[in-house]
Amino acid sequence: MIITNDIKYIGVNDHNIDLFEGQYIVPNGMAYNSYAIIDEKIAIMDSVDASFGEEWLGNIKNALGDRKPDYIIVQHMEPDHSANIVSFIDAYPDAKIVASAKAFVMMKNFFGDDFADKQVVVGEGDKLSLGKHELSFVAAPMVHWPEVIVTYDSTDKVLFSADGFGKFGALDVEEDWACEARRYYIGIVGKYGLPVQTLLKKVAALDIQIICPLHGPVLNENLGYYINLYDTWSSYKPEEDGVMIAYTSVYGNTKKAVMELAEQLKAYGCPKVVVNDLAREDMAEVVEDAFRYSKLVLATTTYNGDIFPFMRQFIDAITERNYSNRTVAFIENGSWAPTATKVMKGMLEKSKNLTFAEAEVKIMSALNDDSMAQVEALAKELA
């Protein structure tokens, strides 16, 4: 794939992977992106996952012909991007390694070698000339590891964005960008909204025509759309006005209340109502929905004096990622001693700018006239 006259794609697609980072379901596989900038000197941008070293080195050779790279630029040290540094140096022993100081410390930890004789240490504002292409480096600590740098090519106006603007899915599969980019961002980067905001402010002054991420497609059209989504996600603003209901139900009574609430919300004209069964849905998808919409209903049973395990897992997942700036409502079911709402509110007490709905639903085993009236009151308030 040719990105510009001088920049070629040399990454790989992975359709063998079942779980990315050991937890995220990736039905359409994963792309590990790498790029070659071919000038008087040649720079390779990052490497790929350990399973694809031979294919990647073959891609480099096909892109360069008889020429050899002068540099490998390591923007991010997660193994899906750095695992083949050693094999690259074995193949090209005269090449230099360009990375942040912290990245070289990590190389020592990963490989037992920090390549002291090959180091080109770069940080904020440093530049590297390849000939007509001048690369500038921007520090991006905690987006989403501390050693991260991103790279700007002022000649072709390309931002090499490391894990920023990435998504799940291999490049040979057509799918909507936002859905899998949102799940990727919130799941992996979501905790680090403030560092992402800092990086967005830094690169706002650059004339960017193309974004080359380490996962997902190269972005070269309508860049404002992608940047605006990243701004929304990293500032923890709701992306859409709507209600997401997350529930667990043991014998179906809590589910009945949830379905009644969903129907009433729709009847009142709520623009979007999404219902997720936490025991059966992919947890990463449900967490994505929680951040997508402006209002969240948590519905669960009291369980061993606490809350049902899937609800605890869900609330832990959203609070770990700084869930904030939304309205939250509660439905609890307890046959003799309901405590679920109290527990859920306690788990959310460190979250910022949450508004708790005044109407609460308390079910004692099964819906009755009183709890049905509470459901109706909650639907009116949320709608």
The whole-number average pLDDT for the span 143-165 is: 97
Of 189, 212, 234, the one marking the end of a domain is 234
Q: How far apart are CA 284 and CA 95, in angstroms?
A: 40
State which of 234, 256, 281 marks the end of a domain.
234
The domain boundary, picked from 204, 234, 264, lies at 234
| pLDDT bucket at 206, cuts 50 / 70 / 90 | very high
The full DSSP string for 176-205 is: -HHHHHHHHIIIIIGGGHHHHHHHHHHHTT
| pLDDT for the residue 305 | 87
Cα–Cα distances (Å) from 57 to 51, 359, 370, in that order, read 12, 61, 68
Residues contacting 137, CB < 8 A, separation 6+ = 122, 123, 124, 125, 126, 127, 128, 149, 150, 151, 152
**What is the count of structural domains for the chain?**
2
When pLDDT is averaged across residues 247-263 and rounded to a whole number, the result is 96
CB of 157 closer than 8 Å to CB of 208: yes
The structure tokens listed for 6 are: 């001088």
* Distance of alpha carbon 150 from alpha carbon 184, whole angstroms: 18
Which helix H or strand E contains 327, and what residues bound it? strand 326-333
Confidence of residue 241 (pLDDT cuts 50, 70, 90): very high
207, 157 Cβ separation under 8 angstroms: yes
The verdict on 216 and 69 lying in the same domain is yes
Q: Find the domain containing 291 and state its range.
A: 243-382
247 shares a domain with 226: no
pLDDT confidence of 314, banded at 50, 70, 90?
A: very high
Q: Do both 247 and 303 map to the same domain?
A: yes
The residues near 253 (Cβ < 8 Å, ≥ 6 apart) are: 333, 363, 365, 366, 367
Does residue 2 lie in a domain region?
A: no
- pLDDT for residue 337 is more than 90: no
86 domain residue, yes or no: yes
Average pLDDT of the residues in 15-37: 96
pLDDT at 45 over 90: yes
Distance CA 234, CA 58 (A): 37
How far, in Å, are 254, 278, 333, 370, 377 from residue 361 at the CA level? 10, 19, 8, 9, 9
What is the pLDDT at residue 81?
97
85 and 193, same structural domain? yes
pLDDT for 116 equals: 97
In a domain, 212, yes or no: yes
CB-CB contact of 162 with 143 (8 Å): yes
Paired tokens of 215: 């996962």
One domain for residues 230 and 259: no
Average pLDDT over residues 232-257: 96
Beta partners for 332? 300, 362
% of the chain with per-residue pLDDT over 70: 100
Alpha-carbon distance of 33 to 26, in angstroms, equals: 16
Mean pLDDT, the chain, rounded, equals 97
Average pLDDT over residues 5-15: 98
Rounded distance, CA 193 to CA 199, Å? 10
Quickly list H helices, the chain: 53-64, 79-82, 85-91, 101-111, 177-184, 193-203, 223-234, 253-267, 283-292, 309-320, 340-347, 369-382
- Specify whether 196 is located in the same domain as 315: no
Q: Write out the E strands in 12-133.
A: 12-14, 19-20, 24-25, 30-32, 35-38, 42-45, 71-73, 96-99, 119-121, 127-129
Q: What percent helix, strand, coil does the chain show, rounded to 5?
A: 35, 25, 40
Q: The CATH number of the domain where 275 resides is what?
A: 3.40.50.360
pLDDT value at 335 more than 90: no
Q: How far apart are CA 249 and CA 255, in angstroms?
A: 6
CA proximity to 253, closest of 140, 332, 360: 332
Instruction: Please write the tens of the pLDDT for every residue from 261-302.
Output: 999 999 999 999 999 999 999 999 999 999 999 999 999 999
CA distance 370 to 60: 69
Q: How far apart are CA 214 and CA 34, in angstroms?
A: 7
Q: What mean pLDDT comes out for the span 81-107?
A: 98
The CATH number covering residue 74 comes to: 3.60.15.10
pLDDT digits (tens, 9 = 90+) for 166-176: 999 999 999 99
150 has a pLDDT exceeding 90: yes
Q: What average pLDDT score do residues 116-120 get?
A: 98
Predicted local distance difference test score (pLDDT) of residue 336: 84
| 157 in the same domain as 15 | yes
Residues 61, 162, single domain; the answer is yes
